Structure 1
Amino acid sequence: MNNISELFSSMVFNDTVMKEKLPKATYKAYHQCLYEDKTLDEESANVIANAMKDWAIEKGATHYTHWFQPMTGVTAEKHEAFITPEGNDKIIMEFSGKELIQGEPDASSFPSGGLRATFEARGYTAWDPTSYAFIKDNVLCIPTIFCSYNGESLDKKTPLLRSQEVIDHAARRVLKLFGNQVHRVITTVGPEQEYFLIEKDLFFKRKDLVYTGRTLFGNKPAKTQELDDHYFGVIKPKVKEFMDDLNEQLWKLGILAKTQHNEVAPSQHELAPIFTLVNVASDHNQLTMEILKKTAYRHDLVCLLHEKPFEGVNGSGKHNNWSIASDTGENLLAPGHTPSKNAQFLLFLCAVIKAVDEYQDLLRISVSSAGNDHRLGANEAPPAIISIFLGDELSNILSSIEQGVPYRDKDKAVMKIGIHTLPEFKQDTTDRNRTSSFAFTGNKFEFRMLGSNKDIACTNVILNTAVAEELCQFADQLEQAEDFQTALHALIKQTIHQHKRIIFNGDGYTDAWVKEAEKRGLLNLKTTADALPHYIDEKNLRLFEKHKVYTRVEVAARYEIGLSNYNQVIRIESLTMSRIAKTQILPAVLKYSKDLSDEVLQKRMVSKDIDTSSEEAIIKQLSSYIKDLYHGYTALDEAIAHRDELTSNQEIANYNRDVILPAMAVLREGADALERICAKSYWPFPTYGDLLYSF
């Protein structure tokens, strides 16, 4: 990479390219579509499509695709060549405005939660002009929404775009009361991405990893993260080569990859981008996950994005750094030098506090998955309880407002390290809390509960919509007030008093916090099966319906899709586990036991005086654990057979939670006990030590 500035965004049909390639009138029409709520006319669409096609062909593209985000959690694309026949044996390269604006993929094979019957196949993709087209693998990718024949959303992007419009309108109403006239308010996101890297050849020897993304069997090696020597440690050459390649691929696509480092666990790493518009950040994160996997593969590695690929080792999360900004560049969550006197900031802060408290169930749902259930609350990630960390300064300011006593702003203290050669620097007014699920970190909120494999769209739909609802309520009150300042102070004070239960600055990992949270009346939805039913609570249906982010049937569909995904993941895991136990582990340990037994018999043939008590003890131990293994997979198979008789998705989810997962844990105990005493040469697949310390 000789010139990163030239490389960056070189595969993106961005604003700079459009300004160069489009006639002035077309370029203006495009911007009016974005910022003035005007529909793009057919002539302008044709001009943009033709320019986009010519640019893409110059870059080596031969096909185009409507790139969308169905309810699978990954992206989808159907490639169409630019070629059009001309005459008997000639072609021309064409791409029309109609092809740019609308596509028609099959909608019957994507999750719909009952919105579509299997035979109802028609669906539509529609260009999202707020997210730039890009070239990937010689294909022009056009970001789109995806909806059914009847107009229901079948994707992640449509509700996200709707929620952006909702918070834009609500925030501008509030800003107007402060005399702050802006044209547009946006939410920005910077999602940090954690991941593991393991050797490709070892990955394919672990069928549990291949089929499920996580290890269903395995013991921790003697050393994992106890010495804290991997976190921020020197990046290994093989990993650095991968990261260099990864950055190049991401930068070509205009993805603002900024930070890279080793994470806590061995073979675990993190990538963090610079903030950008929320729907663009969602697109970029989906691309980042795809490119992580592709790039790793080129380097004979496999990138694991499962939330908990290794039992007993830190899992991987995705921190959703969320903020609100105006088109003037003002961060509406920036406290300023004197936050106690910044009434606009305090009101927006109260809107977030109220939203998180009232819709903690929806935020928990937004991070729910079978994989993330293994990670949350495991002393490596926030607990399943939602709480807000504000730090000492903001907490004290809010407390003084609630109590009606003056607050004295404190100057930042100069750090005293005791080394005279160091330049002076000031201490922040508050520490950071890594155990909090929703932490204020200076000018943004960091929602730390997302799993590494999760898309960020759903979380930000809920954040945008819930905060917009509170801002609307605030605007309704304040717009009717006779004295704005008096009403504003009373509203902030009332909100703090009614919703302070959600604020917690302590250690979220402790049992004491679980008890305290229960006293406060906070929800503790420990599993996905517990959380998902709240999707269709009446208050949540009213929220989405009021702001037209989801219809009631769209919410019900997402509830059913969430349940179905949870059940399918656990079904695949349970079947995989049973088969590995029966067809790989059992034959291996039986062979080891037989060879030990043969060794005993051979020694006795040489002399009855040879002591074989050690071998006999190991054989007895093996037999005991083999019995446990047999009973474990037999019990699991019986539970699976019973599960297959159930019909209700929620009933199946509850059964998976209460019966299948405990049965899998019992089977694992027996298998892992065998691994601890079986000779390594007999064990049928790579161990944790092999996987985590292979390079």
Structure 2
Amino acid sequence: MKKNVIEEVFAMDVFNDAVMKERLPKPVYAKLKKTIENDEELDLEIAGAVAHAMKEWALERGATHYTHWFQPMTGITAEKHDSFISPTKDGGVILEFSGKELVKGEPDASSFPSGGIRATFEARGYTAWDCTSPAFLREDAAGVTLCIPTAFCAYTGEALDKKTPLLRSMEAVSKQAVRVLKLFGHDDVTNVSCSVGPEQEYFLVDKEKYLMREDLIFTGRTLFGAMPPKGQELDDHYFGSIKERIAAFMKELNVELWKLGILAKTQHNEVAPAQHEMAPIYSTANIATDHNQLVMETMKKVAKRHGLECLLHEKPFAGVNGSGKHDNWSLVTSTGKNLLDPGKTPHDNIQFLLFLAAVLKAVDENAGLLRMSASNPGNDHRLGANEAPPAIISVFLGEQLQDVVAQLIETGTATSSKQGGKLNIGVNTLPSLKKDATDRNRTSPFAFTGNKFEFRMVASSMSIAGANTVLNTIVAEVLAEMADELEGAEDFNVAVHDLIKKTFAEHQRVIFNGNGYSDEWVEEAARRGLPNLKTMVDAIPELTTEKTITMFEKHHVLSRCELESRAEIHYEAYAKAINIEAKTMIDMASKKYIPAVIKYVTSLADSINSVKAACPAADISVQTEILTKASSLLASAKAALAKLEAVTAEAAGVEEGKEQATFFKDTVFAAMGELRSPIDELEMIVDKAFWPVPSYGDLLFEV
């Protein structure tokens, strides 16, 4: 029987468990499997056998090179390619790949962001094989390359990447969760993994039009642009029929992702025109992070083949919904139990309630840190903009769990759980549907959705590593506190009951099931004492509080030095991003918009003079009014341009770090808005034939 295309291609380019089992000697496979499943130390003696099998498999598939594939603090991936060839004495070559080459690489570490950990002249850095994430093949114009996921660290040992802290946090939450589970009698649980499913939103625009917009090329978003007559107000794009050109892209994207073993599951049109979404099935946090990086890279590569450009910026177009990345997070034991599954009667599921309370406490006590984990310059345009969760962190539990928590707080015991029942649609030919016990809340930044939490704030272009590193660490901290308390209890059943009640009571302020978009919630959140960190720059200090440093060092996730370096990297990244945007606006206004408007007003003035000459009595009030308004806006644009040039130049002299980032946020960004306003207004006046770039209508609707 002929196989389905998915079965034929799925994981064909992955050195996964099935391939390892087939190609590795049994003792080697057993040791490697034990390392992966039980978080045990890697036995370096098996590296040679693994390297040989990996090389032979890659060569059979046409590979000529290998690379240590890593994720520096740039937020994207990096790689250095080496061929398999080694010279022979007779002038020929043999193909080799040693265990040492598999385990360790040495890329230049001087030019990657380090936040002061490494000076520019100090170049040495190391990559270390991450055996928990399978190697894969990638084919492009360079041929076939064996890509080996690795961690990246400095010569002095500090983590210079996003993978290393994530792996450390996974070990931390596993260790503390296992401690708690043993108190419940689960001695068979050897580890707990965090399971993650990141949904990915993105825009697709025509590549030719994209190449006519320097702002899209240099910054990923449009810095100028007036809204077209139609935006997203009709909601007709959301889940609408997928256009042929986009469907062809999605079809090829799926095949490319399936080859890499990425569980691409769901695809649909999103709310905004030209916006779409892809969602995978869950994987462990480490693999999900690697896969999401590959998803973003593959989206961009495949889009170009179809004459499209994939935009991953959080807010490519002002006035329409931006893009996010919903990070679905849960904890799963080595025995296959989801610790966040409430079961049919959550009120008497004590183990679930304890883990639920731990997450609630972790979020409440570290709300600012969570906000930071979802921050980048682009996300400042999106969070709180009535299209995404607000910048205020709250937790949606839903009616069922809200009721259970209320019972525990008010009476000390929970005796019932609301049930979903049946939903009768009112048409005889339609089946009765099983109704969930609670509704969903799309305005919540951190929502419980059945058996997991959905962290909805994460930015569409960023790595999910940071958010999951923070989630794992803060939950590990609370679980450690709970384990300390319960391990010393005389009566475990009484102690765990009291601890659950106490935790819910002390942290109920963070529970909110209502409309997170409303102004009333902002006021209510302030009364509750919940932080409202509106920008990335406001949130960065959360990385270096004594509380954060103590917690991250306690669980060996990040040291004080590593946290301080990341704060510096974030300040620098913000300042550079806004600086590039400001310079791009200056360039476009100077070379495109202002010259185009001058041509238009000159043409209009010439037209007025021609009409006057031909017919002195003619009414030219309309032309004169348009000329006057356009000339006035042109003067405003020129004045705003001069101001932006001045403050951008001034920013270069401000001390780097927090001070400079703050200057860009408060001064340069405001000046950018002042320049955009008159030019966007001019777009609604100037003849389209004179306008120098494709409009929003061209970009959003002509795909």
Q: What's the TM-score bracket when you normalise by the shorter of the two chains? A: over 0.9
- Encode CA deviations 1:485-541: one digit per residue, 9 max, x unaligned: 111111011101110000000000001000000000000000011110121111011
1:614 matches 2:605: no
Q: Secondary structure at the match of 1:259?
A: strand
Q: Which moved more, 1:231-240 or 1:654-663?
A: 654-663
Alignment partners' CA distance in 1, 2:504 and 2:219: 44
AA matched with 2:522: V
- Encode CA deviations 1:346-394: one digit per residue, 9 max, x unaligned: 0000000000000111100001111000000010000100000001110
1:283 equivalent in structure 2? 290
1:614 to partner: Cα distance: 1.2
- Encode CA deviations 1:53-75: one digit per residue, 9 max, x unaligned: 11001111110000000000000
- Contact 2:423–2:434 at 8 Å: present in 1 too? yes
1:163 matches 2:165: no
Alignment partners' CA distance in 1, 2:37 and 2:269: 41
Q: 5 Å matches for 1:287-366?
A: 287-366=294-373
2:378 equivalent in structure 1? 371
1:17 equivalent in structure 2? 19
Alignment partners' CA distance in 2, 1:493 and 1:24: 50
1:63 equivalent in structure 2? 65
1:380 matches 2:387: yes
1:663 matches 2:671: yes
2:684 equivalent in structure 1? 676
AA matched with 1:178: F
2:198 equivalent in structure 1? 191
- Encode CA deviations 1:254-290: one digit per residue, 9 max, x unaligned: 0000000000000000000000000000000000000
Alignment partners' CA distance in 2, 1:96 and 1:580: 52
AA matched with 1:408: S
Alignment partners' CA distance in 1, 2:80 and 2:66: 8
Alignment partners' CA distance in 2, 1:589 and 1:36: 66
Q: Secondary structure at the match of 1:269?
A: strand
2:8 equivalent in structure 1? 6
Alignment partners' CA distance in 1, 2:420 and 2:273: 37
Alignment partners' CA distance in 2, 1:630 and 1:36: 64
AA matched with 1:674: L
- Encode CA deviations 1:572-596: one digit per residue, 9 max, x unaligned: 0011101111111000000000011
1:444 equivalent in structure 2? 452
1:26 equivalent in structure 2? 28
Q: Secondary structure at the match of 1:63?
A: strand
1:141 to partner: Cα distance: 0.3
- Contact 2:326–2:455 at 8 Å: present in 1 too? yes
- Counterpart selection for 1:85 from 74, 78, 87: 87
AA matched with 1:692: L
AA matched with 1:598: D
- Counterpart selection for 1:493 from 501, 505, 513: 501
AA matched with 1:31: K
- Encode CA deviations 1:378-437: one digit per residue, 9 max, x unaligned: 100001000000011101101110111553333332112111122222211110000000
TM-score norm. by structure 1 comes to 0.99
1:549 matches 2:551: no
- Encode CA deviations 1:420-461: one digit per residue, 9 max, x unaligned: 122222211110000000000000000000111010000000
1:172 equivalent in structure 2? 178
AA matched with 1:185: V
- Contact 2:420–2:438 at 8 Å: present in 1 too? no
Alignment partners' CA distance in 2, 1:640 and 1:673: 23
Q: Secondary structure at the match of 1:165?
A: helix
Q: Secondary structure at the match of 2:241?
A: coil
Q: Which moved more, 1:67-76 or 1:627-636?
A: 627-636
Distance 1:581 1:241, change over 3 A: same
- Contact 2:14–2:259 at 8 Å: present in 1 too? yes
Distance 1:461 1:42, change over 3 A: closer
Alignment partners' CA distance in 1, 2:322 and 2:414: 44
Alignment partners' CA distance in 1, 2:414 and 2:455: 31
1:647 equivalent in structure 2? 655
Structure 1: stretches of 5+ with no match in the other structure: none
1:631 equivalent in structure 2? 639
- Counterpart selection for 1:202 from 190, 199, 209: 209
Q: Secondary structure at the match of 2:94?
A: strand
Alignment partners' CA distance in 1, 2:35 and 2:453: 31
- Counterpart selection for 1:212 from 201, 209, 219: 219
- Counterpart selection for 1:505 from 507, 513, 530: 513
1:272 matches 2:279: yes
1:645 to partner: Cα distance: 1.6
1:607 to partner: Cα distance: 2.0
Q: Secondary structure at the match of 2:116?
A: coil
Q: 5 Å matches for 1:90-169?
A: 90-137=92-139, 138-169=144-175
Q: Secondary structure at the match of 1:62?
A: strand
Alignment partners' CA distance in 1, 2:237 and 2:615: 52
Distance 1:543 1:43, change over 3 A: closer
1:313 to partner: Cα distance: 0.6
- Contact 2:203–2:310 at 8 Å: present in 1 too? yes
1:569 equivalent in structure 2? 577
Distance 1:121 1:257, change over 3 A: same
Q: 5 Å matches for 1:190-269?
A: 190-269=197-276
- Encode CA deviations 1:292-348: one digit per residue, 9 max, x unaligned: 000001111000000000000100000000000001110000000100000000000
- Encode CA deviations 1:187-206: one digit per residue, 9 max, x unaligned: 00000000000000000000
Alignment partners' CA distance in 2, 1:104 and 1:534: 32
1:37 to partner: Cα distance: 5.6
AA matched with 1:421: T
- Contact 2:300–2:310 at 8 Å: present in 1 too? yes
1:29 to partner: Cα distance: 2.1
Alignment partners' CA distance in 2, 1:450 and 1:308: 13
AA matched with 2:21: K
- Contact 2:39–2:171 at 8 Å: present in 1 too? no
1:4 to partner: Cα distance: 1.4
Q: Secondary structure at the match of 1:371?
A: helix
1:6 to partner: Cα distance: 2.3
Q: Secondary structure at the match of 2:684?
A: helix
AA matched with 2:358: A
AA matched with 1:360: A
Number of corresponding residues: 695
Q: 5 Å matches for 1:21-60?
A: 21-35=23-37, 39-60=41-62
2:422 equivalent in structure 1? 414
Q: Secondary structure at the match of 1:266?
A: coil
Q: Secondary structure at the match of 1:677?
A: coil
AA matched with 1:458: G
Q: Secondary structure at the match of 1:198?
A: strand
- Encode CA deviations 1:116-157: one digit per residue, 9 max, x unaligned: 000100000000000000001210000000000010000000
1:471 to partner: Cα distance: 0.5
Q: Which moved more, 1:2-11 or 1:126-135?
A: 2-11
Q: Secondary structure at the match of 2:47?
A: helix
1:680 to partner: Cα distance: 0.2
Q: Secondary structure at the match of 2:377?
A: coil
- Counterpart selection for 1:686 from 694, 697, 700: 694
Distance 1:518 1:39, change over 3 A: closer
Q: Secondary structure at the match of 1:147?
A: strand
Q: Secondary structure at the match of 1:197?
A: strand
Distance 1:132 1:196, change over 3 A: same
Alignment partners' CA distance in 2, 1:34 and 1:496: 35
Distance 1:37 1:425, change over 3 A: closer
Q: Return structure 1 stretches of 4+ with deviation > 4 angstroms.
A: 36-43
